[in-house]
Every structure is written in C-alpha cells, then in structure tokens.
Amino acid sequence: MTQAPPARRRRGIAGAGAVIRRRLLVAVPVLIATSIGMFLLGAASPIDPAKQYAGAAAFTATSENLAQIRANWGVDDPLPVQYARWVGNLLRGDLGWSTSRHEPVTAVLGSRAGWTLLLVGAALAVVLVTSLVLGTLAAYRRGGLFDRGLRAAAYAVEAMPVFWLGLAAIALFALTLGWLPAGGLTGITSTTTSVADVARHLILPVGVLAVSQAPWFLLFVRDSVAESLRDDHVLAARARGLPGRTVLFGHALRTALLPFLTLIGTHLPELVGGAVLVETVFSLPGLGAVSVQAALGSDFPLLAAITLVTTAVVLSANLLTDLAYAAADPRVRLDG
C-alpha cells in the first residue's frame, strides 16, 4: 500500500506514494478525534453498564453489589482517566476488556470482524459487477423493455427494507423451495467450518445485501452511461466506426466510471449498516449484533475499537477510491 509499483506509476497514478503518506498523516488525528468523540457520546448516555450487565438480576441485586461491580470496572472514574487508561492500553497493543461481552476486545473483533468483512466484501463485489453490466446494457437500449423493467425493479427494491427482503428470501429459497439454508454460518450440526458449507450459507445473505444495495448503483451507472453515450468523444468513436461493444464498454462506461467510484466511497457506510441488519436476519455472528450490545451496555472499549476499525476501513476505502480514480482517468493527478 505504501509504495505503488513503478509500472503502475508510469501508467498514470502520479504521486500515489506522497498521497498515501499525506492521508496517513490526516488519518491519525481523525482516529484520535473519533475515539474522543466516542467516549464523550458514551459519557452522555445515562445507561448504567452494571445494570446492563446484571440483566434481570438488576431486580434482585442490591445497590452496593452493583456499585462494587462498577468500582471493579472503573467505569465511574472521570472520563479523562478512562480515556487515558484506554489509550495507554492501546499503545501497549491491548484493546482492553469488553464489559458487555466479558472477553478481551481483540477476541471479540477477531472472532467477528472477519465475517462482517467477508459479507460486505462479497456483497460489494456482486453489486459492482452486476450494476456495471446491467446498468450499461440498460443505457445502451434506453427506453427499451429491458431498461424499463430494470428501472422498475430497482425502484421497487429501493422501497423494500433490507430486513423484509431477508425474511422474504428465507421464505422463498429456504422454506418453499428448500434450496438454501435459512441462516447460520454453517450447518447447525456440522462440527467444522468448511469453505463449501460457509459459502452455501452465505449465498442468501450476500445476495440479499447486494440486492438491497444494488438499485442506487444500477440507476447511477445506467444514467451516467446513457449521458456519456452522448459525449463528443463517444460520438466520435462511434463515427470512427468502432464496434458497438468497444464504444459502450471502452469509451462510454469508462467516462461514467469516475463518478461511480466516488459513489462507492460515499455509499460504503450504508453498506455496513445494511450488513448489520442482514447479520441479524441470517443469524450470522458478525459485528452487527455485538455493536448494538456494546452501545446498549456503554461498553467503551469495545465501542471504541469498533468505531476505530470502521473509521479506518472508510478512510482506506476513500483512499483506494482516489487511487482508482487516478487509474481510471489519466487526467487526474493526485499530487496536483
């Protein structure tokens, strides 16, 4: 990541290394500000983590009992003390202890973040490929049956909540047709986590997440390709007698790709939000449920870690978007 290979640089990503260095310099204060903001928001919440921890036992536990637990955790300490303790641990490579999950924060992230990333990554890949292909085809035959059908479907899906889509997919593919499992990461009685088993269990969740996020991208690609088909350089390419496919994918789509990359960058948080719901519907052990639990339990260490990881992912995604932007359009100079 830090050094773009020379071959790439020659092909157009000018000054990528400098940009990455500059972005890293910005990322550190952003991450610090985010973590401070997270602690401030957490402190403003009236939730008593000890009561949250006690659950129904809060009705039988004495106030001394709960006060002792809070003292053991140090959650009544002044906020700067808690923050300093957290940063101190962080610098030693210790993300702290999750009070809502009762295990080290690193263990929570380690066992869950991978599944969320896999879900989001696979869904994003599906969204990108299908929206580029289908959107371009729809633009090519503007106003045709395929175009109209696709747009109608996109608007319809846009109106469906992810949650509902998920339950409908289970009802159709798992219950009625019996093709795919209704939830979980692996077969409920399987003892190993085999790739094939996980893949089969991820088809529906990835599909639902992709379908729910696709309309935006699809409509965007369709409109901007349709627009660029009228651009001078595309018209000129067509006038030169280049084949239709070359004009469509080589010229029109390439022009339309630039704003599309920006769209991915700005849409990423929404994709993560959708993933949280999809994880719930398909009972996947990702970061979704655990984030909600951490927020409800005022679990500062876990919340801070999740926030930092998400912020870092968004920052890197933005950086990648810019690099891709430069790769897609030779006119863009990153250090310009």
Residues at the interface with another protein (CB under 8 A)? 45-48, 51, 53-63, 65-66, 68-69, 72-73, 97, 100-104, 108, 111-112, 167, 170-171, 174-175, 178-191, 194, 196-197, 200, 280-286, 289-290
Q: How far apart are CB 316 and another protein at their closest, in Å?
A: 25
Q: How far apart are CB 210 and another protein at their closest, in Å?
A: 19
Q: How far apart are CB 217 and another protein at their closest, in Å?
A: 27
32 vs 199, which CB is nearer to another protein?
Answer: 199
252 vs 290, which CB is nearer to another protein?
Answer: 290
Q: How far apart are CB 315 and another protein at their closest, in Å?
A: 27
Q: How far apart are CB 163 and another protein at their closest, in Å?
A: 9
43 vs 236, which CB is nearer to another protein?
Answer: 43
Neighbours of 45 (CB within 10 A): 11
CA distance 22 to 150: 42
5 vs 74, which CB is nearer to another protein?
Answer: 74
Q: How far apart are CB 286 and another protein at their closest, in Å?
A: 7
13 vs 294, which CB is nearer to another protein?
Answer: 294
12: left (phi over 0), alpha (psi -120 to 50) or beta: left
CA distance 214 to 204: 15
25 vs 56, which CB is nearer to another protein?
Answer: 56
256 vs 284, which CB is nearer to another protein?
Answer: 284
Q: How far apart are CB 99 and another protein at their closest, in Å?
A: 9
